[in-house]
A and B are shown apart, each in its own frame.
Chain A
């Protein structure tokens, strides 16, 4: 069985259970359900809230550099610290944090394979204590925006057919049947997808226990949709979080050299006046 392109970015629950007192590692939980941490978390883990700590709370943007540095400093993280991220919903928002940590150049970031779900399912040790660590003076690198797609890049890709567009939302969102995931507010004016996009729902990359599928299975999943190393790839969803999970898989597990996350995603494209939109279910490649 082939290994992932960058297996060093994943850690297993067994490994982490043996590292709970390792001061070179900082464990951080990032959940969709931001209150899940309080029920019980991996001992020593901190929590970062995606709604207030991993985005600019005034304008629509990722965390500004000064706030990113403040968050990592407050978390007692140094540039040489190994950060292990985990979360609920198959590490959905852990991947969002991973993406931002890479934008700001943190070297050693890893994801707990299986996330919170696997830790709970294995009845591993939990804690309700909120730890604190001595603050540091963290200095981030200049943001690496090559990991991020902005609207003009996506518009050019649509005009020139120069990139593979991967829409990672559900089939119903992709087709335009619904405007937002069931139960969430509708935040766009139109339903459908960016013309030419392929639909590979983000959750298809995980197994029932929350761990990532094998290299071969992931490769087959994306190859069936024409996504491979031959072209640049742009991943998008509704607000850029689910697609950060796909970005992680494509870049670090499959090793695609040129893959970006379009975090403007459908809430940007689907609200643009005059933007072309396709509707309907996904068609077979080449159809």
Chain B
């Protein structure tokens, strides 16, 4: 039996609506995982598992975009 471990671990950073977001992707067994974190403070916004890396990433970005769109910036 194959030992369970993460594979193809990678990270990249980009912006959604001006917010820096880090995407972390990897595979565990047959599942592809994609997690979107906001860079500051570094918390998980969304994480999805799917049968393909593209689907996992698409869903994670979509949910992160939805959550970030609710963040109100104020005049200081």
- In the assembled complex, the Cα of A183 lies from the Cα of B22 at a distance in Å of 14
Q: Which residues in A have their C-beta under 8 angstroms from that of B76? A: 175-177, 191, 279-280
- In the assembled complex, the Cα of A90 lies from the Cα of B39 at a distance in Å of 12
Contact in complex: B38, A90 (CB < 8 Å): no
Contact in complex: B42, A125 (CB < 8 Å): no
Summed over the interface, the residue pairs from A and B with CB atoms below 8 Å come to a total of 99
Please indicate which of the listed interface residues B3, B6, B7 has the most CB atoms of chain A within 10 Å of its own CB: B6
Q: Which residues in B have their C-beta under 8 angstroms from that of A88? A: 44
Question: Given A123-B7, A203-B40 in contact, is the A183-B70 Cβ separation under 8 Å?
Answer: yes
Question: Given A39-B31, A89-B43 in contact, is the A182-B71 Cβ separation under 8 Å?
Answer: yes
Contact-residue bracket for chain A: 35 or more
- In the assembled complex, the Cα of A36 lies from the Cα of B49 at a distance in Å of 11
Contact in complex: A126, B28 (CB < 8 Å): yes
**0/1 string, A37-49, CB within 8 A of B gives 1:** 0011000000000
Q: How many Å from the CB of A203 to the closest CB on chain B? A: 5
Residue ranges of B at the interface with A (Cβ–Cβ < 8 Å): 3-7, 9, 19, 24, 26, 28-29, 31, 33, 35, 37-38, 40-45, 47, 49, 64, 67-68, 70-74, 76
5 contacts between A and B (CB under 8 A): A92-B42, A120-B26, A123-B9, A182-B19, A183-B67
Residue ranges of A at the interface with B (Cβ–Cβ < 8 Å): 32-33, 35-36, 39-40, 88-90, 92, 117, 120-121, 123-128, 169-173, 175-184, 186, 191, 201-203, 237, 242, 279-280
